[in-house]
Amino acid sequence: MTYVTTGVVVDGAIQLDEPIVMPNQTAVSVRIEPLPTASKDRLLAWERTQERLKARPIHGGGKRFSRDELHERR
């Protein structure tokens, strides 16, 4: 029987998100790998984008239309 679950490391011990139903003293094989941190990557990308926009703002540079020109009907 194979279980695949996730958990977090707290003070050097792993706390699983779900309990594992196995008898006590069962020998198991454990493979530990960190999960991808997509939310942290997105936050970092957003912060970098904001920094870049502050350093090099985007300017339209074109004509500014009036309300009447924007809503012109022919």
Domain boundaries along the sequence of the chain: 7-70
Helix (H) or strand (E) holding 14, with range, is strand 13-16
The rounded percent of the chain whose pLDDT value lies above 70 is 96
pLDDT of 19 > 70? The answer is: yes
Name the amino acid, one letter, at 20. I
Percentage of the residues of the chain whose pLDDT score is greater than 90: 28
Task: State the chain's mean pLDDT as an integer.
Answer: 86
The predicted structure's pLDDT at residue 24 = 93
- Say whether pTM exceeds 0.85: no
Tally of CB atoms within 10 A around 7: 13
CA atoms within 13 A on the CB side of 4: 2
| pLDDT band, residue 38 (cuts 50/70/90) | low
Identify the pLDDT of residue 16. Answer: 92
